[in-house]
Amino acid sequence: MRTQAFWNDPRIRAWFFQILAVLVVGGFIAIIVTNTVDNLNALNVASGFGFLQHTAGFGISQTLIEYSESSSYGRAFLVALLNTLLVAGIGIFFATVVGFLVGIARLSPNWLVARLATVYIETFRNIPLLLQILFWYTAVLSNLPAPRNSLEIGSLLMNNRGLYLPAPVGEPGFGFVVAAFFIALLGIVFLRHWSQRRRIATGRGLPIMWPSLGLLFGLPLITFWLAGAPLHFEVPELRGFNFVGGLRAIPELLALVLALSIYTAAFIAEIVRSGIQAVSWGQSEAAQALGLRRTQILRLVVIPQALRVIIPPLTSQYLNLTKNSSLAAALAYPELASVFAGTVLNQTGQAIEVLTITMAVYLGLSLLTSAAMNFYNSRIALVER
């Protein structure tokens, strides 16, 4: 009877099965690790992460930090990681902007605008992403004119070797301008928080958009003027067969960002459309009765409520875009999967270590993105009282 009563306790059963599951999984992992180590020893293959300190011996076409062929594999990993973050960051920004605009346009009362948005969505989300990447690279960017006949848009230069634009070069005192920019950001956060507290206390908030814009641009500009304009731009110059100086975005980066942004924006547009339609029409009618314009209704009433529906699936699209950046291997763009899980793995033969690091990085990026989006989602979620 005591044994039966002991086993019928749900807490004891729960702990028992959890411990059993941990032991089974741990044993399985131990067997895999033991067999792997034995096989590596039998093949005289060195294990460990010491190879990260060895000289890489290969070049990388795009580097955001200093790198040369004499740099270590660890340095090459850092360069590839930064290139991946660059693609993911730019892609997420443009995919979000385009996705929101197309999603709103899909619901436009204008027949032509709504149909164009529908065509965009149904076209780009149904073509494989890899084909879109190859299209932008081989059919568009590779057919641009040579550097001597570059397309000029103001100070921007476009040719088959990439996009060139002036590079800002800070001079002594420019650090004060940067500090003023961050102070302005903190001021905007404080202003928004104060406005919200005033709305809760009195029922009337203060318009913060124009003061925020004034603070964001005004404070750095005033500091820039007081510091004596400590900034100049390095303009690309044609020397020989190519441009020298300025900033350069290689064609592989442009093709990847274009394809990822356009492809992901098609899915985001549908998420935005469904989120807006999930808001009760009575909310819009009430806003119209208060005399708000259509744009004000969308910005102040509909979108804030739709975000509670939009954010969770939007997070999945951000994760997909970051992981899909690994398709850059098809263009030889030097991102993480191409450089580290490709070139470094082939040169060192440290398959387990290289793939473990690569998978851990992608996992970490996904978890950080999810954590940030979940935090934002919790801030805008309805609170049950």
Looking at residue 310, which CATH number applies to its domain?
A: 1.10.3720.10
Please check whether residues 180 and 112 belong to one and the same domain. Answer: no
Q: Is residue 53 part of a domain?
A: no
pLDDT band at 153 (very low <50, low <70, confident <90, very high): confident
Write the secondary structure of 278-289 as one string of H (helix), E (strand) and C (coil).
Answer: CCCHHHHHHHHH
Q: What is the pLDDT of residues 282-331, one digit of tens each?
A: 887 788 787 878 777 887 788 888 888 899 999 999 999 999 999 988 88
Tokens representing residue 36 in the block: 């792997």
Answer with the one of 213, 234, 255 that is the final residue of a domain. 234
pLDDT band at 6 (very low <50, low <70, confident <90, very high): low
Please check whether residues 216 and 247 belong to one and the same domain. Answer: no
**Would you state the pLDDT for residue 101?**
94
Residue 385 has pLDDT above 70, yes or no: no
CA 33 to chain centre: 34
Answer with the one of 179, 200, 234 that is the final residue of a domain. 234
The identity of residue 226, as a single letter, is L
Span 156-174, mean pLDDT? 85
What does the chain come to in residues? 385
Q: Contact, 272 vs 249, CB < 8 A?
A: no
Across the chain, mean pLDDT equals 86
Span 201-227, mean pLDDT? 82
Q: Is residue 108 part of a domain?
A: yes
Please check whether residues 243 and 342 belong to one and the same domain. Answer: yes
Residue 378 has pLDDT above 50, yes or no: yes
- pLDDT > 70: percent of the chain: 93
Nearest to 332 by CA among 97, 60, 81, 87: 60
Give the integer Cα–Cα distance in Å for 176 and 173: 6
The identity of residue 57, as a single letter, is G
Q: Is residue 60 part of a domain?
A: no
Q: How many domains does the chain have?
A: 3
Hunting for tokens 């004891």 — which residue is that?
A: 12
Please check whether residues 184 and 98 belong to one and the same domain. Answer: no
Residue 347 has pLDDT above 50, yes or no: yes
Q: What is the pLDDT of residues 84-139, one digit of tens each?
A: 999 999 999 999 999 999 999 998 889 999 999 999 999 999 999 999 999 999 99
Please check whether residues 19 and 118 belong to one and the same domain. Answer: no
Span 41-66, mean pLDDT? 80
Residue 333 has pLDDT above 60, yes or no: yes
Q: What is the pLDDT of residues 227-263, one digit of tens each?
A: 888 888 888 888 877 788 888 888 999 999 999 999 9
Answer with the one of 193, 213, 234 that is the final residue of a domain. 234
Please check whether residues 119 and 136 belong to one and the same domain. Answer: yes
Residue 358 makes CB contacts below 8 A (sequence gap 6+) with: 336, 337, 340, 341
Span 60-81, mean pLDDT? 90
Q: Is residue 212 part of a domain?
A: yes
Q: Is residue 66 part of a domain?
A: no
Q: What is the pTM of this model?
A: 0.82
Q: Contact, 271 vs 278, CB < 8 A?
A: no
Residue 362 has pLDDT above 90, yes or no: yes
CA dihedral 210, 212, 217, 220 (to 10 degrees): 150
**Would you state the pLDDT for residue 329?**
84
Q: Is residue 162 part of a domain?
A: yes
Please check whether residues 32 and 124 belong to one and the same domain. Answer: no
Please check whether residues 214 and 113 belong to one and the same domain. Answer: no
**Range 112-119, long-range pairs (CB < 8 A, 24+ positions):** 117/269
**Would you state the pLDDT for residue 80?**
92
Give the integer Cα–Cα distance in Å for 318 and 368: 11
Please check whether residues 249 and 122 belong to one and the same domain. Answer: yes
Tokens representing residue 207 in the block: 């318009």
Q: What is the pLDDT of residues 261-279, one digit of tens each?
A: 999 999 999 999 999 888 8
Hunting for tokens 């749900």 — which residue is that?
A: 10
Least confident residue range of 6-20, 95-109, 335-349, 352-366: 6-20
Q: What range defines the domain where residue 314 resides?
A: 73-166+235-380
* Greatest alpha-carbon span in the chain: 93
Q: Are strands 162-165 and 247-249 parallel, antiparallel or unpaired?
A: antiparallel
Tokens representing residue 228 in the block: 């004596």
Q: Contact, 165 vs 171, CB < 8 A?
A: no
Give the integer Cα–Cα distance in Å for 202 and 192: 15
pLDDT band at 360 (very low <50, low <70, confident <90, very high): very high
Residue 226 has pLDDT above 70, yes or no: yes
Q: Is residue 84 part of a domain?
A: yes
Span 146-168, mean pLDDT? 84
Please check whether residues 203 and 273 belong to one and the same domain. Answer: no
Q: Is residue 313 part of a domain?
A: yes
Give the integer Cα–Cα distance in Å for 57 and 371: 37
Please check whether residues 160 and 213 belong to one and the same domain. Answer: no
Please check whether residues 205 and 315 belong to one and the same domain. Answer: no
